[in-house]
């Protein structure tokens, strides 16, 4: 994902992590769009302009896996990188099988995040 400034939507219910990830991506030249839930992301009026979705898996109300399914149904070309603190191989396989490009283990190293974003 190189070239022009790209919009990266970040969905995470952890406010501190959401703020830190948003600030980091902005410092790296991305247009970071923070959302505290899957519902707030889906209510965004310009989803079609989002170049990449970075979402947590373990969230209340709507999990990242549920969000993945909805996004892939309505915006099948949107690349999605998922992140989780859980070490569960079943979740990893389901995320990848359902269309996620990558599943990153929290805490995420900055270099790993940028590498994944650049690869999609």
Return d(Cα 46, Cα 29) in angstroms, integer.
20
Q: Is 42 inside a domain boundary?
A: yes
Residue identified by tokens 């990830």 is: 21
Q: Tell the burial category of 100 from Cβ atoms under 10 Å away from its Cβ (0-12, 13-18, 19+).
A: buried
Q: Is 41 inside a domain boundary?
A: yes
Residue-wise pLDDT for 94-107, tens only, equals 999 999 999 999 99
Residue 31 structural domain: 7-119
- Which CATH number goes with the domain that contains 59? 3.40.50.2300
Q: At 105, is the secondary structure helix, strand, or coil?
A: strand
54: left (phi over 0), alpha (psi -120 to 50) or beta: beta
List, in sequence order, every beta strand (DSSP E) within 1-120. 7-11, 31-35, 52-56, 80-84, 102-105
Q: What is the pLDDT of residue 2?
A: 47
**For the chain, what is the domain count?**
1
Return d(Cα 76, Cα 29) in angstroms, integer.
25
Return d(Cα 49, Cα 42) in angstroms, integer.
13
Residue-wise pLDDT for 54-79, tens only, equals 999 999 999 999 999 999 999 999 99
């Amino acid at each position: 994902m190189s070239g022009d400034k790209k919009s990266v939507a970040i969905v995470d219910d952890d406010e501190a992590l959401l703020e830190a990830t948003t600030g980091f991506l902005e410092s790296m030249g991305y247009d970071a769009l923070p959302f505290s839930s899957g519902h707030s992301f889906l209510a965004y009026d310009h989803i079609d302009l989002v170049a990449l979705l970075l979402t947590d898996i373990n969230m209340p109300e709507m999990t990242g896996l549920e969000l993945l399914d909805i996004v892939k149904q309505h915006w099948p070309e949107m690349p999605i990188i998922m992140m989780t603190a859980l070490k569960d191989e079943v979740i990893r396989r389901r995320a990848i099988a359902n269309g996620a490009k990558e599943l990153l283990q929290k805490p995420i190293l900055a270099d790993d995040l940028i590498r994944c974003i650049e690869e999609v």
